[in-house]
Amino acid sequence: MNCVRFIFVLSCLWLGDSFASDPDDPLLLVELPQGKLRGRDNGNYYSYESVPYAESPTGELRFEAPKAYKQKWSETYDATQPPVVCLQWDQFTQGDNKLAGEEDCLTVSIYRPKNSSRSSFPVVAHIHGGAFMFGAASQNGHENVMREGKFILVKISYRLGPLGFASTGDSDLPGNYGLKDQRLALQWIKQNIASFGGEPENILLIGHSAGGASVHLQLLREDFAQLAKAAISFSGNALDPWVVQGGARGRAFELGRIVGCGLAADSAVLKKCLKSKTASELVTAVRNFLIFSYVPFAPFSPVIEPSDAQDAFLTQDPREVIESGKFGQVPWAVTYVTEDGGYNAALLLEDWNKSGKTVLEELNDRWFDWAPYLLFYRDSKKTIKEMDDYSRKIRQDYVGNQRFSTGNYWELQQLFTDILFKNSTQDSLDLHRKYGKSPAYAFVYDNPADRGIAQVLTSRRDVNFGTVHGDDYFLIFENVVRDPQLRPDEEIISRNFINMLADFSLSENGILKYGECVFEDNVGSEKFNLLSIDREGCENKKFVEFP
Ligand SMILES: *[C@@H]1O[C@H](CO)[C@@H](O)[C@H](O)[C@H]1NC(C)=O
Ligand SMILES: *[C@@H]1O[C@H](CO)[C@@H](O)[C@H](O)[C@H]1NC(C)=O
Ligand SMILES: *[C@@H]1O[C@H](CO)[C@@H](O)[C@H](O)[C@H]1NC(C)=O
């Protein structure tokens, strides 16, 4: 034993930073019902990337619920290629052409630590964010997580934008394909993860932003407990106004008009025509749904499907689902950061139409036109008057009679945070505490990154954005939209979060801990129990209303 260890140390010294990958290492080969696949040895972890869980959602399978992958491999499948980006109109691709990715993209990617103190690992399944429009598994780095060596990570790729969410609101084109993909991927993980050393009884599902909202929507399925034992929604939940939206039918027909289907007579005709177009045409059409910059940021998103739709994922308003008590009874945590909406408000500081004015200045004249798109009530108000009254009220409530300027940007950013993230977090938690039976936890994070998503979007360092969307999550999963350099306090927080995930996925009794703090359950509680996490540490607090 000692001898083996000695040789190992020697070979490490010998090779310096690089390492010898043993091609005969049995852990590189995994046997699945489809056949064998070969992963990669990355030194301190193994990876098995781009493993298909569904048939290619192309041709006749476009705009359909995913079909489980049934092909047999005659040769060893090469699982060393990083997951492709699902075809998208990407907010973070510079320039006018924002098209990126491929239509054939339904895979999971699995990362397994090398940790001799365990022969099997709990599993964290990950749904990436990106407004249901963009983002990718590959943009959520796993080096921090693998360094800690505590769990197997599985990243899920799912259809986005029009390909994932176009809907006519009837059974011809019901929508929610991206959510159906996620669910099929979760079923795949449950069935197959043991072959990779994962513990199928210890699966935690997590996601950020649209990924967090997806996690919540998955949990609202009554049989969710069969797929995972716990879940966390970081800065995104099913009640956020940009998640389940109305008006999808109009947008689906508009999409048809843009790509040359004319005025389709009905949904079946429209669907047939949309299937005949190239995927790039359909996704490029997203640019026509943006009124400027990337506004509204989620023109295609989840919908409520008619109850007669085949393979329907969601047929009731999420609020009603929670009130019915018929959802997955597993421990769930929902979170926000103090200025989440900085991600969305930051673009107001951009130049407006190369005019030398900021969008913010222009907003003074266009508030009634733009606010319903910026804040997602365009399709939820019944009349124009109702919409205008609401626009007037929220402006008055947050900035009073002042004109918009960098001087009151902060107040406007608070409006974005409240509407897009925070108030719906409180609503969700409130409903879960009244109607849920399993623990509902919450935390708020306040510790600004030095260079987070708002600074990256605006290239401005002179504005105080506070703690913005992703300032917590990107400490766990490295992301290009924030500075990779972590401060010493962030290193500690990163490790605490990773331990939190590992412990939650293993917990027998649904207990959730961060550092020394044990989360308090909200179910049945009179006040909101919120764990406050910042640079100094953590503290349990109670509130009647979110701070
Ligand atoms: C390995 O797993 C054990 C048990 O979960 C854990 O305590 C340890 O931190 C892990 N990491 C490494 C690098 O050994
Ligand atoms: C943006 O600027 C161009 C050129 O100055 C102008 O033609 C166009 O109408 C402007 N767009 C809007 C939406 O005001
Ligand atoms: C958000 O919630 C707070 C506290 O309940 C409330 O004062 C505020 O008006 C809400 N904001 C909006 C835009 O609904």
SS (H, E, C) 219-259: HCCCCHHHCCCEEEEECCCCCCCCCCCCCHHHHHHHHHHHC
- For 400, phi then psi, to 5°, come to 65, -140
Query: Does the CB atom of residue 423 touch ligand 3 within 6 A?
Result: yes
Q: What residue owns the CA closest to ligand 1's atom 7?
A: 150
Query: Does the CB atom of residue 150 touch ligand 1 within 6 A?
Result: yes
- Please enumerate in sequence order all residues whose Cβ is within 8 A of that of 97, keeping only pairs 6 or more positions apart, or say none: none
- Residue 264 banded pLDDT, cuts 50, 70, 90: confident
Residue 36 has which token pair?
A: 């064998």
DSSP lists the bridge partners of residue 208 as 234
d(CA 332, CA 522): 10
pLDDT, tens only, 278-325:
999 999 999 999 999 999 999 999 999 999 999 999 999 999 999 999
pLDDT of residue 380: 95
Smallest-distance ligand from the CA of 119: 1
Q: Is the pLDDT of residue 13 over 80?
A: no
DSSP lists the bridge partners of residue 99 as 89
> Region 154-183: what's the mean pLDDT?
98
- In one letter, which amino acid is 394? I
Q: Which of the four CATH numbers 1.10.3720.10, 3.20.20.60, 3.40.50.1580, 3.40.50.1820 does domain 2-246+297-330 have?
A: 3.40.50.1820
Q: What residue owns the CA closest to ligand 3's atom 13?
A: 419
pLDDT of residue 321: 98
Query: Does the CB atom of residue 142 touch ligand 1 within 6 A?
Result: no
Ligand 2: distance of its center to the CA of 281 in Å?
25
Q: What residue owns the CA closest to ligand 3's atom 3?
A: 423
* Dihedral sign computed on CA atoms, order 273, 275, 281, 287: positive
Q: What residue owns the CA closest to ligand 1's atom 5?
A: 150
Cβ atoms of 471 and 447 within 8 Å: the answer is yes
Ligand 2: distance of its center to the CA of 352 in Å?
9
The ligand 1 atom nearest the CA atom of 121: 5
Q: Which residues are catalytically annotated?
A: 209, 469
Testing ligand 3's pocket by substitution, the residue of 240, 393, 413, 423 carrying the most ligand atoms inside 8 A of its CB is: 423
Percent of the chain with pLDDT over 70: 96
pLDDT of residue 319: 98
Query: Does the CB atom of residue 394 touch ligand 3 within 6 A?
Result: yes
Query: Does the CB atom of residue 427 touch ligand 3 within 6 A?
Result: no
- For 100, phi then psi, to 5°, come to -150, 150
pLDDT, tens only, 26-49:
999 999 999 999 999 999 999 999
d(CA 130, CA 133): 6
Query: Does the CB atom of residue 118 touch ligand 1 within 6 A?
Result: yes
The Cβ of residue 87 has, within 10 Å, a number of other Cβ atoms equal to: 25
**Beta strand pairing call for 77-78 and 35-38:** parallel
Ligand 1: distance of its center to the CA of 505 in Å?
14
Cβ atoms of 137 and 83 within 8 Å: the answer is yes
pTM: 0.95
Residue 337 half-sphere exposure toward CB, CA atoms < 13 A: 27
d(CA 403, CA 24): 68
pLDDT of residue 2: 36
pLDDT of residue 7: 39
Testing ligand 1's pocket by substitution, the residue of 45, 46, 115 carrying the most ligand atoms inside 8 A of its CB is: 115
Q: Is the pLDDT of residue 1 over 70?
A: no
Ligand 3: distance of its center to the CA of 400 in Å?
15
Ligand 3: distance of its center to the CA of 394 in Å?
9
- Residue 18 banded pLDDT, cuts 50, 70, 90: low
Q: What residue owns the CA closest to ligand 3's atom 5?
A: 545
d(CA 180, CA 187): 11
pLDDT of residue 10: 38
Query: Does the CB atom of residue 472 touch ligand 3 within 6 A?
Result: no
What residue spans define the domains of the chain? 2-246+297-330, 342-543
Q: What is the residue whose two structure tokens read 């308090």?
A: 520
Smallest-distance ligand from the CA of 395: 3
Smallest-distance ligand from the CA of 145: 1
Task: Give 408's DSSP letter.
Answer: G
Ligand 1: distance of its center to the CA of 113 in Å?
9
Q: Is the pLDDT of residue 426 over 50?
A: yes
**Beta strand pairing call for 107-113 and 152-156:** antiparallel
List Cα–Cα distances, 20 to 15, 23, 88, 111, 469, in angstroms.
8, 9, 38, 19, 40
Query: Does the CB atom of residue 138 touch ligand 3 within 6 A?
Result: no
d(CA 477, CA 51): 20
Q: Is the pLDDT of residue 4 over 50?
A: no
Query: Does the CB atom of residue 545 touch ligand 3 within 6 A?
Result: yes
3 state SS of 181: helix
Residues, the chain: 547
Residue 449 has which token pair?
A: 């990154």
The ligand 1 atom nearest the CA atom of 44: 13
